[in-house]
Amino acid sequence: MEPVLAVTIGILFAAAIYMMLRRSIVKLVIGLMLLSNAANLLIFVTAGLTRDAPPLVPQGMSVPAGAVADPLPQALVLTAIVISFGVLSFAVVLVHRAWEVVRTDDLDHLKETDT
Amino acid sequence: MQQAVLAGFVMAGLAPLLHRWLGVRTAPMMALLPASLVLWLLWQWPLIAAGETLLLAWPWVPALEVSLTFFLDGLAWLFALLICAIGALVLVYSGDYLRDDPDQPRFLVLLVAFMMAMLGLVLADNLVTLFIFWELTSLTSYLLIGFHHEDPAARRAALQSLMVTAGGGLALLAGLVMLAQAGGSWSLTELAGRGEAVQAHALHGPLLVCVLLGAFTKSAQFPFHFWLPNAMVAPTPVSAYLHSATMVKAGIYLLARLHPVLGSSDAWVVTLSLVGALTMALGACLAIRQTHLKIMLAYSTVMALGAMTLLLGIGSRAALAAFVVFLVAHALYKGAMFLVAGILDQATGTRDLTGMGGLRHRMPWTALVAGLAALSLAGLPPLLGYIGKEALFSAVLEADHLRGAILALAFLAALLTLAVAALMVLRPFFGAVRETPRPPREGSPAMLAGPALLAGLSLWLGLAPHGLEGLVTATVQGLGVREAAVHLTLWHGLTLPLGLSLASLLLGALVVRHWEGLRTWSARLEPFMTLGPEGGYWAVMRGWLRLAEAQTRWLQNGHLRSYLVMTLLVLLGLVGHALFVRNGALAAPGPSARMHEAVVAALMVAGAMTACLMRSRLAAVAALGAMGFSIALTFVLFSAPDLAITQLLVETMTVVLLALVLFRLPRFAILSTPLQRLRDLVVASLVGGLISLLMLSVLGGEQLPRISEYMIANGQPLGHGHNLVNVILVDFRALDTLGEVIVLGLAATGVFAMLGLRPEGPASRRDARAEEDDHG
């Protein structure tokens, strides 16, 4: 399964980068979303995939029964998902605000400090 | 001695304070330090004369083999004496010269700091210490040359001297490091005995080039001679000091100091002889074209520096003895000449030779001093300059390499120097009286004392040269020649050098007679002067600026896209290269994909593609949502329920947020050309492919022991939780989570502030609430 997901993630990255290279600032934001999703998935998959063994300790035991999925990358990705949402919402509001002030969504028109 | 140098730096720092208390008496008071050093040096003389070396050890950074050890042999003693003695005279002189200058304290700070740096340079035993003092002289002389910083010409000249000498300094640093590698020691005293080992070493060639570059730039050797005349914008006492005893002599000192180590190779002999002879002739030729007193003197310094380099290159016992005599003679007459030039400048308000005349009636003492110094410069008996010149000729006649060429160049230089010296006395002091911008008056005693003493010494040592023999012998011993008993005399009998001197006297007189014609003729060569090394310097500086401008315009063009593309291409190159070099195994197929898993992956791809291609904003957001939910499904399938829940929540809120905000933004427009899109597609596909390869390579690589083993084993016993991911988040990596909360708080504050600027926006409350909800 890992090779399949590796290729999938490569495609997600390609799509994200393509969108980030657009001139439209809204597309840049969509690219940012794709990128954060792709990166989260990358961390998750690179740590190795395990089926049907969530990292839980059954009631009344002190260690999981048998091998479980690695909990550490999951914790890291969880943090990353939440943070990327924070960044994204900030970016979206910033873009919205910039549009209100400058009335352009073309990044090429935003490259000077004076508008 | 180290204490004296360090105290000197401290005193330099205190100069402004002293000036507040002592006023114009500060400079003479400060001259007491170099004067007392002169006494100390004279007290050490018996030791030096006996050929002993005084070693003053002072460890500094022993772990790096850097020490502040000073050592005093004949060579260091001679240079230190010149630095301190002329330094004291220049300090007394400048107290008067800059009497009315409000910046005098600054001047004193710089001059004394420069003096101490120079002293440290000639006394240092450690190569690193030597280099530090070397750079300090470059820096302080930069500030001294640019002393009148309101003047753009001064700033330009100062920067030029810094560029040339500090650029050479970099080469020198590389050269010294290689020298230490080749010789196996950072200590000059130890290196002196390892000449053969160094010359046999593989690094000998490069280190020789680097060291010579450093010395030649500092000592204004061809083709780096141009900064020296430009540095004449400095106040005259600075010029006198820099030219007679210090700065430019630093390169000569370095060559002399390294002579025992590097001096016996053919490359050294030929390079130094040729460059020295060329510089000598060129300096004299350029001097005769000028009418500006200080610039003429500057070029004659270039000529003298060339002569010293030439003598060090020849390297025979006679040549080294001639080097020492020439060095002393030059320091004496050049110091005197510059100080006289300063008196003339102040007395008349002009520095142009053609604007002065008949001053001997008004300034008889100045005329006398100038006459003596010029006789020595011209190399006429009975002054020390004559002995130096005779010694030079006899050394050149014994040279092993290129004898004919260097003799011709040296002869040309000698006759032109004679003419220059004659002009500098005849023009201002003799002939018809000319009107000058200021009515001339005799210089003050404080200002005349220095040049008079120096010129008097030139005469005395010329008449009684055996007084100098001990010093020359001791110094030549410091240069590595042991059996050196040197005899100096005014009269050698009817020899070839005497004939050459006579011939140069006659031809020189001819040049003086036809000076005006010569100058008009050489003025026609003016257009070609820009082709010289100085033109090269400016071309390099211009090119440098243009390069900076071009690369700034290219790399920092304000387009986000090009920054991204640049970063991505670098990433592609570096990571791709690493992958290629490593050439490791790719991932083993592992557990094969099941049908439903493959469908989920296909959904992700489809969602991402659709989001990219859709013209409608709503469709794009929906596609993104589909992709996000597929990712959540992947998390479910591969044992990550917590991630799946978080992803679902976040994805839902993202879609809501986007749906709300995106519709307040303009519709998607196609802003790029097909070619641009193709380019972006290529870059994006390459990076995507690289990421896939990277992942496969990581998955195929060796598995390191997992950090989480500890967390799995201890999650319940220590963290008292049954969900290991939660235990990690709130317990093992709690600080991480705290950081995350802070980031979210900041983002929420930012969002709230931006929306608060326009409070009526309906999206604002929702955004803020979405933020707050997310902390859970």
Domains annotated for chain A, with CATH where assigned, are 2-50+70-110 (1.10.287.3510)
The 10s digit of each residue's pLDDT in B470-504 is 888 888 877 777 665 667 777 776 677 788 888 88
Which residues 8-27 of A have a C-beta within 8 angstroms of B? 8-24, 26-27
Pick the more confident residue, B442 or A59: A59
The 10s digit of each residue's pLDDT in B523-554 is 777 777 667 777 888 888 899 899 999 988 88
Residues of B in contact with A58 (CB under 8 A): 722
- Distance, in Å, from the CA atom of A31 to the CA atom of A107, rounded to the nearest integer, reads 14
Domain borders along chain B are: 1-186+233-250, 265-524, 710-776
Q: Is the confidence at residue B637, as pLDDT, over 70?
A: yes
Average pLDDT over every residue of B3-7: 79
Cβ pair B370, B356 in contact under 8 A: no
Both tokens of residue B684? 């994006």
Average pLDDT over every residue of B118-132: 89
Average pLDDT over every residue of B209-235: 87
User: Which among B599, B672, B699 is the top mutation candidate for probing chain A, defined by the most A β-carbons within 10 Å of its own β-carbon?
Assistant: B699
Q: Is the confidence at residue B762, as pLDDT, over 60?
A: no
Pick the more confident residue, B102 or B213: B213
DSSP B154-185: HHHHHHHHHHHHHHHHHHHHHHHHHHHHHHT-
Q: Is the confidence at residue B631, as pLDDT, over 90?
A: yes
Nearest by CB to B692, which of A6, A58, A85?
A: A6
- Distance, in Å, from the CA atom of B475 to the CA atom of B482, rounded to the nearest integer, reads 10
Average pLDDT, chain B: 84
Both tokens of residue B570? 């670098």
The 10s digit of each residue's pLDDT in B677-735 is 898 899 999 999 999 988 888 887 767 777 888 888 888 888 888 898 999 999 998 99
Nearest by CB to B628, which of A37, A58, A79?
A: A37
CB–CB contact B565 A41 (8 Å): no
Instruction: Give the per-residue pLDDT at B588.
Output: 63
Instruction: Give the per-residue pLDDT at B573.
Output: 92
CA-nearest residue of chain B to A111? Answer: B558
Most confident of B6-15, B134-143, B416-425, B652-661: B134-143
Instruction: Give the per-residue pLDDT at B776.
Output: 38
Instruction: Give the per-residue pLDDT at B764.
Output: 46
CB–CB contact A96 B758 (8 Å): no
Start-to-end CA distance of chain B, whole Å, equals: 72
The 10s digit of each residue's pLDDT in B151-194 is 888 888 888 889 888 889 999 999 999 998 888 888 888 888 88
Q: Is the confidence at residue B313, as pLDDT, over 80?
A: yes
CB–CB contact B639 A10 (8 Å): no
Residues of B in contact with A75 (CB under 8 A): 725, 728-729, 733
Instruction: Give the per-residue pLDDT at B714.
Output: 86
Average pLDDT over every residue of B502-522: 81
Q: Is the confidence at residue B758, as pLDDT, over 60?
A: no
Average pLDDT over every residue of B122-130: 89
Cβ pair B215, B251 in contact under 8 A: yes
CB–CB contact A86 B743 (8 Å): yes
Most confident of B65-79, B127-141, B185-199, B359-373: B127-141
Nearest by CB to A72, which of B594, B728, B747?
A: B728
Nearest by CB to B611, which of A30, A55, A69?
A: A30
CA-nearest residue of chain A to B768? Answer: A89
Over chain A (115 residues), what is each successive 10-residue block's mean pLDDT?
Answer: 89 93 86 92 88 87 84 92 91 86 77 61
- Please choose, from the candidates B123, B149, B155, the residue with its C-alpha nearest in 3D space to the C-alpha of residue B55: B123
Residues of A in contact with B737 (CB under 8 A): 79
Q: Which residues pair with B723 in a beta bridge?
A: A56
Report CA dihedral (B504, B507, B510, B511) to the nearest 10 degrees. -70
Residues of B in contact with A54 (CB under 8 A): 639-641
Amino acid, res. A106: D
Q: Is the confidence at residue B378, as pLDDT, over 90?
A: no
ipTM value for the complex: 0.93
Instruction: Give the per-residue pLDDT at B247.
Output: 78
Q: Is the confidence at residue B342, as pLDDT, over 60?
A: yes
- Which of helix, strand or coil describes residue B530? coil
- Which of helix, strand or coil describes residue B560? helix
Q: Is the confidence at residue B396, as pLDDT, over 90?
A: no
Average pLDDT over every residue of B670-680: 84
Cβ pair B458, B376 in contact under 8 A: yes
Cβ pair B651, B626 in contact under 8 A: no
- Distance, in Å, from the CA atom of B4 to the CA atom of B9, rounded to the nearest integer, reads 9
Average pLDDT over every residue of B639-664: 88
User: Which among B572, B635, B692 is the top mutation candidate for probing chain A, defined by the most A β-carbons within 10 Å of its own β-carbon?
Assistant: B692
Residues of B in contact with A5 (CB under 8 A): 601, 634
| Triad B86, B88, B93: Cα angle to 5° | 90
CA-nearest residue of chain A to B629? Answer: A37
- Distance, in Å, from the CA atom of B487 to the CA atom of B496, rounded to the nearest integer, reads 18
- Which of helix, strand or coil describes residue B660? helix
